[in-house]
């Protein structure tokens, strides 16, 4: 029976002993090694100890032997556990006490400085983790605080079953899926924005993991021309850009699209605006506003994944988007509250609040319609308002809340309050007395 971890190393040079390392101990002769455990019992003890469902880990091997810990020798089973490429354990289980006496990690999550080329051709530095199989995977536990960022890719196996696997490479500095590199880069920028600008730790402000799926297809072999937030993670289609210039390229490329999707998570864990009619249009609008705040070099969304000169929506000029949007309450588009009706036109009527945000930042001043206050203060105001809106909030509620927050943060007679009132008045919504 093996005695794990106990050995003596004797260095011999010629016929001369040069050194002895390790420790000689009295042999543990009086240990009872008769008790045994069935595999099912090992599984159950492991399950209870790890506080994991038994479907979420595997026992890859088990053997009996002697382990020395706490200055004494014990007869145990050494059970090797595989949880994920970044988590594995050796559990030493006493068959007499039927409990784990020692737990040792077998994988030391070793963050590795890595680099790769993203979908737009930029060189990106990021962290990966060396997995137990020696490959590097897109898993970075340095952010969010106390959790991790993960990028997986959609793969179909020979039977056409969908699999998700970490984006991986055998070399930390080459061979990465460019869609994964884009997702890593964008996730970092978005996380840093919410943390540094709004003191928000991940989308839920509880540091939940930021997980992305790239190269998604809903049916194998058919390009998928969309991106979505599913309530806990981002998914980016591989895109259906045509030679005629219609459709999108790989949706992971676009920082504003990524920011829009994560912002849906921020809305979900704050105002949780109901996804229909006016509240739904506000939900879409807040996602767009964070999109152009995080990708702050232009006022349009989707330009990085569309043919040159095209874009999906414009915050400054909502009528110029792929599907023209209203920029004023008078032009509100009434659509049925069905999937075909875009739940009452949530992607259409978002143009109204989008335009109010643009006017607040710079449009009022540029167009001679009043005061503008720049991005920094405007973003502070709209984020504070989002935290106080409720699932049924409508345009008037959002307008009032922007004004209330401007007053609380900058004072009742501040130019920020005036600018908010003018911005909303210019899209047809007069802010009532507060």
Using CB under 5 A, list all residues that contact Ca ion: 256, 295, 297-298
What does 298 interact with, of Zn ion, Ca ion, none (CB < 5 to 8 A by kind)?
Ca ion
Residue tagged active-site, from 261, 303, 405, 421 = 261
Instruction: Return d(Cα 338, Cα 398) in angstroms, integer.
Output: 24
What does 55 interact with, of Zn ion, Ca ion, none (CB < 5 to 8 A by kind)?
none
261 as an active site residue: the answer is: yes
Closest approach of Cβ 289 to Zn ion, in Å? 11
Closer to Ca ion by CB, 160 or 309: give it: 309
Instruction: Return d(Cα 171, Cα 182) in angstroms, integer.
Output: 18
Q: Where are the beta strands (DSSP E) in 95-209?
A: 99-105, 111-117, 123-130, 136-137, 139-140, 149-156, 162-166, 168-169
Site map for Zn ion, 255-294, x if CB under 5 A? Answer: --------------------------------x-------
Residue tagged active-site, from 347, 379, 405, 421 = 347
Q: Which two tokens stand for residue 283?
A: 């939900």
Closest approach of Cβ 290 to Ca ion, in Å? 12
Closest approach of Cβ 134 to Ca ion, in Å? 38
Closest approach of Cβ 305 to Ca ion, in Å? 10
| Using rule CB under 5 A, residue 137 touches Zn ion | no
List Cβ neighbours of 394 (8 Å cut-off, separation of 6 or more): 278, 279, 282
Closest CA to 102 of 82, 73, 131: 73
Long-range contacts of 331-339 (CB under 8 A, 24+ apart): 337/276, 337/277
What does 118 interact with, of Ca ion, Zn ion, none (CB < 5 to 8 A by kind)?
none
Closer to Zn ion by CB, 287 or 360: give it: 287
Closest approach of Cβ 260 to Zn ion, in Å? 6
Closest CA to 128 of 137, 117, 119, 120: 137
What does 256 interact with, of Zn ion, Ca ion, none (CB < 5 to 8 A by kind)?
Ca ion
Residues from 95 through 114 that contact Zn ion (CB under 5 A): none
Closer to Ca ion by CB, 3 or 120: give it: 120
Residue 171 DSSP label: B
Closest approach of Cβ 313 to Ca ion, in Å? 10
Q: What is the dihedral of CA 248, 253, 256, 259, to 10 degrees?
A: 120
List Cβ neighbours of 46 (8 Å cut-off, separation of 6 or more): 57, 59, 79, 81, 91, 93, 100
What does 157 interact with, of Zn ion, Ca ion, none (CB < 5 to 8 A by kind)?
none
Closest CA to 312 of 348, 283, 366: 348
Closest CA to 100 of 55, 47, 63, 23: 47
Q: Phi and psi of 277, rounded to 5°?
A: 50, -140
What does 295 interact with, of Zn ion, Ca ion, none (CB < 5 to 8 A by kind)?
Ca ion
Number of residues counted as binding Zn ion (CB under 5 A): 1
62 as an active site residue: the answer is: no
Closer to Ca ion by CB, 256 or 405: give it: 256
Closer to Zn ion by CB, 100 or 227: give it: 227
**Integer-rounded Cα radius of gyration of the chain:** 29
Residues from 348 through 407 that contact Zn ion (CB under 5 A): none
- Please report, as ranges, the residues that interact with Zn ion according to CB under 5 A: 287
Question: Which sequence positions are flagged as catalytic?
Answer: 261, 347
């Amino acid at each position: 029976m093996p005695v794990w971890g106990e050995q003596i190393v004797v260095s011999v040079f010629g016929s001369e002993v040069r050194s002895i390392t390790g420790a000689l101990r009295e042999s543990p002769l009086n240990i009872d090694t008769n008790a045994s455990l069935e595999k099912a019992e090992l599984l159950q003890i492991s399950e209870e100890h790890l506080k994991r469902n038994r479907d979420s880990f595997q026992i890859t091997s088990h053997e009996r032997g002697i382990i020395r810990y706490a200055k004494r020798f014990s007869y145990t089973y050494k059970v090797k556990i595989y949880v994920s490429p970044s988590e594995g354990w050796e559990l030493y289980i006493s068959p007499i006490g039927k409990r784990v006496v020692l737990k040792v990690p077998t994988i030391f999550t070793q963050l590795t400085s890595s680099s790769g080329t993203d979908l737009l051709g930029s060189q990106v530095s990021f962290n990966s983790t060396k997995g137990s199989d020696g490959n590097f995977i897109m898993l970075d536990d340095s952010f969010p605080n106390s959790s991790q960022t993960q990028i997986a890719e959609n793969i179909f196996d020979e039977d056409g079953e969908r699999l998700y696997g970490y984006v991986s490479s055998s070399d930390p500095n080459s061979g990465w899926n460019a869609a994964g590199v884009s997702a890593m880069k964008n996730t970092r920028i978005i996380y840093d924005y919410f943390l540094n600008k709004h003191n928000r730790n991940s989308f839920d402000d509880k540091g939940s993991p930021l997980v992305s799926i790239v190269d998604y297809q809903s049916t194998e072999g058919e390009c998928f021309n969309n991106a979505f937030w599913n309530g806990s993670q981002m998914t980016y289609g591989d895109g259906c850009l045509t030679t005629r210039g219609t459709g999108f390229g790989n949706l992971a490329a676009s920082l504003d699209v990524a920011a829009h999707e994560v912002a849906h998570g921020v809305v979900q864990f704050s105002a949780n605006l109901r996804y229909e009619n006016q509240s739904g249009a506000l939900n879409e609008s807040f996602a767009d506003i964070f999109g152009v705040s995080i990708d702050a070099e232009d006022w349009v969304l989707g330009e990085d994944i569309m043919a040159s000169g095209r874009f999906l929506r414009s915050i400054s000029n909502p009528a110029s988007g792929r599907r023209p949007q209203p920029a004023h309450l008078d032009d509100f588009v009434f659509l049925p509250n069905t999937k075909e009706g875009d739940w009452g036109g949530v992607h259409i009527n978002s143009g109204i609040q989008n335009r109010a945000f643009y006017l607040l930042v710079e449009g009022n001043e540029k167009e001679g319609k009043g005061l503008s206050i720049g991005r920094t203060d405007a973003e502070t105001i709209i984020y504070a308002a989002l935290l106080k809106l409720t699932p049924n909030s409508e345009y008037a509620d959002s307008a009032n809340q922007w004004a209330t927050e401007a007053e609380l943060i900058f004072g009742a007679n501040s130019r920020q309050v005036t600018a908010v009132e003018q911005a909303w008045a210019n899209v047809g919504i007069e802010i009532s007395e507060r």
